[in-house]
Chains A and B, each alone.
Chain A
Amino acid sequence: MKFALASSPHQRVNRDTGQIMRMVCYAALPGIAMQCWFFGMGVLVHLLIASATAVATEALILELRKKDFERAVKDCSALLTALLIAVSIPPFAPWWITVIGTVFAIGVVKQLYGGLGFNLFNPAMAAYVMLLVSFPVQMTAWLPPQSLAEQSHNLMDAISIIFSGFTTEGYSISQLRVDVDGVTLATPLDAVKTGLTQGKTVSETLGLSIFNGATGIGWFAVNAAFLLGGLFLLQQRVISWHMPISMLAGLALTASFFYLLDSDQYSSPWFHLFSGGAMLGAFFIVTDPVSGSTTRNGRLIFGAAIGIWVYIIRQWGGYPDAIAFAVLIMNMAVPLIDYYTQPRTYGHRSNSSNKGARR
């Protein structure tokens, strides 16, 4: 009898990389649904464009690198990147924005560094920053919530505007951004920042029509939906709590500090947690394993630092939201963090002194 040989362990958990990536994608669905509800169907169109581009780019490059692309595509990591790009860019941005961003993310940030597991930076966020710097107008053209907009729009409008720049009725994106009074509506984060430069207090700004109490209309719901998805991932142990919780804590504590210092100048922690991409960032972006810290303490530091950076950039930086920048900054610090946060090995008195650097 000839016996098959294998190495231990012979048993393993029934969860592979592809499944993990897919679960993260599913968990993002409520957030995407909320985006559709408040900001139109554009995000779905972009999702399709981004996914197709991502898979095509990945397959092509792997084919060029003579690797087994079928298996690589099945791990769904490219799809997740595509999803993150699609939900990050404004829903009615032109189609080529998504295409350029996705090709950049997969082709340059991920594959040029060696493919899955080797990329130093979070591909979706690197692409987002590249797009924001290169195409600031298109990348900041967020729509007001549908309830406030003068023009309503449907899926056909979304497709039309993304590919031609105009809705089926011929409205351009700038026309869609005005409210019933003909005023262009900004995102809540923008509005607060602009208000401050105009000498208004935060609470005065919060009186604007785009706000509903302490947070922006629509934005609160989108963030809450991503939070829900994130809790699902935590419960399923797809992600560990360290990074999301420490990031939210970092953001909230910094915001509280300044809010307590001067509530006229600084917005509330509540506002920060439920504006922009805070929840998306905490549960779906910061948690990207590849470009994050790998040690337990490292993950806490990594997350908290991102939270603080988000606050700093939102408050004093020139860009509307800060998740992407904060993540990239901390991606660069990961080797350092990992180096200094090695856990103490069993039976060793302290962390080994002659540590090797990562990679």
Chain B
Amino acid sequence: MAITPLSVEDIFDRLKRGKRWDFPGGVHPAEHKTLSNQSEIARVKLADKLYIPLKQHIGVEGELQVSVGQKVLKGQPLTHSAHPFAVPVHASTSGTVVDIAPQVAAHPSGLSELSVVIEPDGIDQWIDLKPLSNYQEMDKAQVVEAICDAGISGLGGAGFPSHIKAQPGKNVEFLVINGVECEPYITSDDRLMREHAWQIRQGIDVLVHLLAPRHVIIAVEDNKPEALDALSVACRDASNYLVCDVATKYPAGGEKQLVQVLTGREVPGQGLPIDVGVIMYNVGTCFAIADAIFSGKPLVERVVTLTGGALNKPHNVWAPLGTPVEHLLSVAEYQPGKQASPRVIMGGPMMGFTVTDARVPVVKITNCLLVPSVDEVRNDNAEQPCIRCSACADACPASLLPQQLYWHSKAAELDKAQDYNLFDCIECGACAYVCPSEIPLVQYYRQAKADIRNQRDEKDKAERAKRRFEARKARLEAEQQAREEKHRKAAEARKQAMQNKDTDKSARVSDAIARAKAKKQQTENVTEPVAETQPKNAAVAAAIARAKAKRAAQTDAEKKPEATVQPSPAHNHESDNDDAESAAQRKQRQIAAAVARAKAKKQQGQDVNKTTPAQHKSDEAGNNEQQSEQDIQRQAESKQQRIAAAVARAKAKKANRQQAQNTSDSDDVTEEKNSQS
């Protein structure tokens, strides 16, 4: 099947005529949605304590802004960061910070994350809110910043910082608003769309202002007619907004699948939807964006579906972020007797993960707590041999061969598993859902992916060490040679001088000239002449950019091993799989670098001299300042600046690619220069 060469307008017309594409495979699990979608989203009383992890999304955590004992107001930022990838977290109610310590995280691994524990004072008092109601007249960057400051990251599952997607740097043909919610049981988006369609529309308007897409598609599965109606009414007056029903099939709400269903296009293997002109936001995210822009409220609560046969009162609630699971269980009247052993799933039955502790908090990506009764869940130890029935392959939306992936994953033949495109698996679970031999296929894939990542990391490390060693060896050899050469020349010169004592003076002069020439040549030979000759403030700017890039790379490197030990979170269908995330991260790192660049430029204009000594130290160009100042006279300043900027850009790019490796390499360069000069 070739990628359909339809034009944007053709595609939109097709959608208008009610036609959709289909994606291969997919399954139709029992929906169980009526369990929780019959009543309005309820307000719950505050829990005794809120546990707010500093990092609630993909990306990096910010610096702590509060201390134990401090009083905080609702909506007050708890973290802050200049890093383009970081979004802050906020106090979800007013109260006192009683502890800042590692707490069990909302993650399948059950590892701990640094969290702020807040004891509510019951007043629930907001900080001063600063709405941007006239966002249309404002600079886009300002709006984006507001979204970032509101702590909004994708509420659909992956938790991707929303402001980064809002600066795609490419033409957006379709802005897709994802209200598909294809996982069984979950109804949080359903209720939100029914009750707050207008606010979702407002959020979409903000995104349209930022992204200027050709068309807007709001996609909802056809098992949610009320939500479809509500959104159609809310979007009636916008001619390029189209509310689309999508056939109910799991995982139609998966990012890649939805792109395929709506546009017939496929997101390339390691790419992002923007590569095919699509940007996708979850309806919940739109709601939060509207909150941030029109009321100035940061993201401090979200809709959570409490459902499952072991709850007496399944329904949807507005849960302040940080609310522990146990509190919500009691709100929904949990019946432990209906379960063989306590089991709570965060997310849906297809992609959710079991929480490890009753104190695990609701975080930005928590859309559902599923508490199934005994007969609602699969038996975990029933694995039988694969009979190669291919039911899994028929169900796979990515057209993979899950049985082969399973075979190679189990046998730890990681190369072969990759040959079968293991990393294109979105961990949707459709294969394991249909497997008659009850093989937990996805678990095998996660394990294999983690193993492969570990291997890669180790290989990288070894390679870096090797490269460093070789560079050092070459350098030492070169130095040795240079020394010998120098000695030889000096000896020769002495000999000559002895021979021509009468022309002593002129010889000394020529000797001096030779020395000067040699020196000049040496400086010219330095690996990065441009960096040396750049003017001071350009050098500083470059240093800032580099330092930022380096820091980004480091945090990334730090993040990586963690991701590899644990099974990937894959919170639900809207989330990409781990791998796609890493692809996404790569892309986004480029964007981040661009942001860093921009920030650096801005800063450069403002305070050139305020750079810290650390930044000077990290900058090899600083060592050659004197020389650079002399060179300014030789060449036009503006040109130099441009070149310097180009180099900085190239370096930032390189830094993205090489990640942490950069650290050691640049140190080597510094050493090399010192020895040469």
Contacts and interface: CB of A to CB of B under 8 A. Distances in A.
Contacts of B356: 3, 5
A293 B573 CA distance: 30
In the complex, which of the residues B394, B401, B567 has the most CB atoms of chain A within 10 Å of its own CB atom?
B401
B419 A352 contact: yes
Interface in B380-439: 380, 382, 384-390, 393-394, 397-401, 403-404, 407-408, 413, 415-416, 419-421, 424, 427, 429-430, 432-438
Interface in A1-46: 1-13, 15-17, 19-20
A7 B403 CA distance: 18
A294 B393 CA distance: 8
Contacts of A71: 384
Nearest to B372: A10
B354 interface: yes
B267 interface: yes
B372 A12 contact: no
A96 B389 CA distance: 32
B351 A8 contact: yes
A294 B407 CA distance: 13
Interface string B512-550: 000000000000000000000000000000000000000
A7 to B, nearest CB: 4
Contact of B378 (A5, A12, A19, A292): A12
Nearest to B427: A8
A346 interface: yes
Contact of A3 (B342, B387, B416, B570): B342
A10 B30 CA distance: 12
A295 interface: yes
Interface of B (DSSP majority class): loop
B403 A294 contact: yes
B266 A347 contact: yes
Interface in A195-221: none
Contacts of B430: 9
A347 B384 contact: no
Contacts of B446: 7
Contacts of B407: 359
Contact of B436 (A19, A240, A359): A19
A117 B385 CA distance: 6
B423 to A, nearest CB: 10
Interface in B221-269: 256, 260, 266-269
B436 A3 contact: no
Contact of B349 (A10, A17, A75, A344): A10
Given A20-B389, A294-B388, A11 B29 contact: yes
Q: Size class of B's contact patch?
A: 35 or more
Contacts of A289: 387-390
In the complex, which of the residues A4, A71, A77, A355 has the most CB atoms of chain B within 10 Å of its own CB atom?
A4
B429 A9 contact: yes
A240 B427 CA distance: 24
B345 interface: yes
A4 B341 contact: yes
B490 interface: no
Interface string A147-166: 00000000000000000000
A354 B422 CA distance: 13
Interface of A (DSSP majority class): loop
A329 to B, nearest CB: 19
A343 B401 contact: yes
Given A11-B433, A116-B387, A294-B393, A347 B354 contact: no
B192 interface: no
Given A3-B355, A9-B349, A344 B399 contact: yes
In the complex, which of the residues B399, B440, B446 has the most CB atoms of chain A within 10 Å of its own CB atom?
B399
Interface in B302-359: 326, 340-345, 347, 349-358
A359 B594 CA distance: 46
A240 B438 contact: no
B399 A345 contact: yes
Given A11-B349, A294-B390, A3 B399 contact: no
Contacts of B382: 16
Interface in B349-375: 349-358, 370, 372
A115 interface: yes
Contacts of B68: none
Interface residues of A, number: 46
Given A342-B401, A347-B269, A352-B421, A9 B350 contact: yes
Contact of B343 (A3, A77, A342, A358): A3
Contacts of B260: 346
B342 A4 contact: yes
A8 B435 CA distance: 13
Given A9-B350, A240-B390, A20 B436 contact: yes
A328 B304 CA distance: 55
B271 interface: yes
A292 B570 CA distance: 33
B389 A2 contact: no
Nearest to A116: B385
Nearest to A15: B436
A348 B256 CA distance: 12
B184 A117 contact: no
B256 to A, nearest CB: 6
B442 interface: yes
A7 B387 contact: no
B269 A348 contact: yes
Interface in A93-137: 115-118
Given A71-B384, A344-B1, A3 B404 contact: no
Nearest to A343: B399
Nearest to B424: A345
A292 B401 contact: no
Contacts of A77: 387
A290 interface: yes
B377 interface: yes
A356 interface: yes
Given A11-B377, A346-B397, 19 more contacts: A4-B341, A7-B354, A7-B567, A8-B570, A9-B378, A12-B433, A13-B29, A16-B438, A20-B436, A71-B384, A117-B386, A289-B388, A290-B387, A294-B390, A296-B394, A342-B401, A343-B24, A356-B413, A359-B407
Interface of A: 1-13, 15-17, 19-20, 71, 75, 77, 115-118, 240, 289-290, 292, 294-296, 299, 342-348, 352, 354-356, 358-359
Closest 8 CB pairs of A and B: A9-B429, A356-B416, A289-B389, A117-B385, A356-B419, A11-B349, A4-B343, A346-B398
23 contacts: A1-B326, A2-B342, A3-B342, A3-B343, A3-B356, A4-B343, A6-B377, A7-B354, A8-B349, A8-B353, A11-B30, A17-B387, A17-B436, A75-B384, A116-B385, A240-B394, A289-B387, A295-B393, A345-B398, A354-B419, A355-B420, A356-B420, A358-B404
